[in-house]
């Protein structure tokens, strides 16, 4: 679909929506990673252009969009049950449109399931095809049949409108897809090969956000550091870092094989790039890393860690670990635990391996029993919690810069925010701090959060 066709579909839907007299509501549910959050902002942008207004009650919606995740079985089952919950909305309001987007809708077997068992789903759109939302809606409200778009043209690099909701924080997708085919992972199959946005587009967007007062910008990509258009990622990051203003730049997720010396050099000299690096290790065993097709060894990974800590001693490191990968022996798991104790990450996101249909690892014979994987997972969580707490302790007694996000859900007087290194901090404050950099004196450290007192706004 070219931009002129999309524009025509947007106008046609808008006209029909306006003809009804009152504005129609859109309700969007997002699962999965930040890249999906960013895609939802584009779905919302398109919906607004078609005349829909946000509603936080699905009962009042004329359009419900679910942006789905396929990374683990649990994510898919949860999504299917949420979709099931919207059945009664459709019964109460037969003109309601329900669209399912995102990674799950690029899997043939899930689309078949939606077609057969969820008759109230009107259409699906793959992550590559989200730019076809206006066409899918127009088709359906013009009397077309339910449509499950599997091979729609690639729209990810199209200039789609973005309706951000993050206030002082913003995501900027700079590349899409993945070429790495880690043997456990569904992403390359559902998000296709790597495509990068032209650097001029990215630079223009980031400058506009800074001018609008956004304070925290996260560059996104499944493999953000393999960004390559007319320039590579280190060059782009250096260009962005040179934009004047009061803001921090983050980026995720990086692949260790692309954590080049050039990138480390940019981080070493950067003014705005935060002192935080999220670098998934996945396993501390070279034999498991080999079978995962990660294309680095533990030693290669450790050399990146050493260089990062050399150039930025204040850098916080976080990682992803999978336990229970097929064939993971007790020794392999001990290698991972040893790596965690040696490296001492500030935080770790750990996952129990989940077989994904169509990936090589799902076909491996020596799958690990759930009890074994569960016990390893619990031990990893416990030991890493101690390490994370220990990594936070040196901040006690220090004054740190924090970007205030607002009150917590449970207590309106307790606010939360993040340090430049991305650490969560709780403090007493009022609404005047929101979206501002403030100085907080850290009084207490836990594994997953710091507690402090505001000393200057």
Which tokens sit at 415? 């606010």
Rounded-to-integer distance, Cα 122 and Cα 142, Å: 13
Q: Beta partners for 321?
A: 282, 350
- Interface with ligand SF4, residue 178, by CB under 6 A: yes
- Interface with ligand F3S, residue 66, by CB under 6 A: no
CB of 179 to ligand SF4, least distance (A): 8
- Interface with ligand SF4, residue 283, by CB under 6 A: no
| Residue 103 interacts with which of ligand SAH, ligand SF4, ligand F3S, none, CB < 5 to 8 Å by class | ligand F3S
Residues 355 and 367 sit within 8 Å (Cβ to Cβ): yes
- Interface with ligand SAH, residue 253, by CB under 6 A: yes
CB of 268 to ligand SAH, least distance (A): 23
65/185 with CB nearer ligand SF4 = 185
Contacting residue, 9, 27, 32, 421, with ligand F3S by CB under 6 A: 32
Residue 133 φ then ψ, to 5°: -55, -45
Give me the sheet containing 123-125, strands edge to edge. 52-54, 24-30, 61-68, 97-102, 123-125, 147-149
E-strand stretches of 370-428: 399-407, 414-419, 424-428
- Interface with ligand SF4, residue 255, by CB under 6 A: yes
354/404 with CB nearer ligand F3S = 354
Residue corresponding to tokens 């009022």: 430
Residues 425 and 449 sit within 8 Å (Cβ to Cβ): yes
Say whether the peptide bond before residue 253 is cis (omega within 30 degrees of 0).
yes
Residue corresponding to tokens 């993971």: 328
114/292 with CB nearer ligand SF4 = 292
CB of 102 to ligand F3S, least distance (A): 6
Vertex 320 angle, CA 316 and 321, to 5°: 130
Contacting residue, 10, 25, 26, 36, with ligand F3S by CB under 6 A: 36
| Residue 354 interacts with which of ligand SAH, ligand F3S, ligand SF4, none, CB < 5 to 8 Å by class | ligand SAH
Contacting residue, 35, 254, 359, 404, with ligand F3S by CB under 6 A: 35
Using CB under 6 A, list all residues that contact ligand F3S. 32-33, 35-36, 69-71, 102-103, 186-187, 190-191
């Amino acid at each position: 679909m070219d931009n002129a066709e999309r524009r025509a579909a947007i106008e046609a839907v808008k006209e029909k929506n306006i003809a009804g007299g009152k504005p129609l509501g859109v309700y969007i549910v997002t699962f999965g990673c930040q890249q999906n959050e960013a895609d939802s902002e584009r779905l919302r942008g398109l919906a607004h252009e078609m005349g829909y207004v946000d509603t936080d009650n699905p009962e009042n919606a004329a359009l419900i969009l679910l942006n789905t995740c396929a990374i683990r079985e649990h994510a898919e089952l949860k999504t299917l049950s949420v979709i099931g919950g919207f059945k009664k909305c459709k019964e109460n309001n037969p003109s309601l449109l329900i669209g399912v987007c995102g990674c799950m809708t690029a899997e043939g077997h899930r689309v078949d399931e939606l077609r057969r068992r969820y008759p109230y789903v009107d259409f699906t759109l793959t992550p590559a095809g989200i730019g076809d939302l206006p066409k899918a809606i127009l088709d359906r409200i013009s009397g077309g049949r339910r449509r499950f778009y599997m091979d729609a043209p690639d729209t990810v690099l199209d200039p789609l409108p973005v309706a951000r909701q993050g206030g002082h924080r913003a995501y900027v997708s700079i590349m899409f897809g993945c070429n790495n085919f880690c043997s456990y992972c569904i992403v390359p199959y559902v998000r296709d090969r790597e495509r990068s946005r032209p650097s001029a587009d990215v630079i223009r967007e980031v400058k506009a956000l800074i001018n609008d007062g956004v304070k925290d910008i996260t560059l996104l990509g499944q493999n953000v550091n393999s960004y390559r258009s007319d320039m590579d990622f280190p060059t782009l990051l250096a260009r962005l870092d040179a934009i004047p203003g009061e803001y921090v730049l983050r980026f995720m997720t990086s692949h260790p094989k692309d954590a080049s010396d050039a990138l480390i050099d940019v981080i070493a000299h950067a003014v705005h790039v935060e002192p935080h690096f999220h670098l998934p290790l996945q396993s501390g065993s070279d034999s498991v890393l080999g079978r995962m097709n990660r294309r680095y060894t533990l030693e290669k990974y450790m050399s990146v860690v050493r260089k990062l800590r050399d150039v930025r001693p204040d850098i916080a490191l976080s990682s992803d670990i999978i336990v229970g990968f097929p064939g993971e022996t007790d020794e392999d798991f001990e290698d991972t635990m040893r790596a965690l104790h040696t490296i001492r990450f500030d935080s770790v996101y750990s996952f129990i391996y989940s077989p994904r249909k169509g990936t090589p690892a799902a076909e491996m014979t020596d799958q690990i029993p759930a009890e074994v994987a569960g016990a390893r997972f619990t031990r990893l969580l416990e030991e890493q919690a101690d390490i994370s707490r220990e990594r936070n302790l040196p901040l006690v007694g220090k004054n740190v810069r924090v970007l205030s996000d607002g009150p917590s859900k449970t207590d309106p007087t307790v606010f939360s925010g993040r340090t430049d290194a991305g650490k969560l901090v709780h403090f007493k404050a009022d609404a005047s701090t929101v979206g501002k950099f403030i100085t907080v004196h850290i009084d207490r450290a836990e594994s997953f959060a710091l507690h402090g007192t505001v000393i200057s706004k």
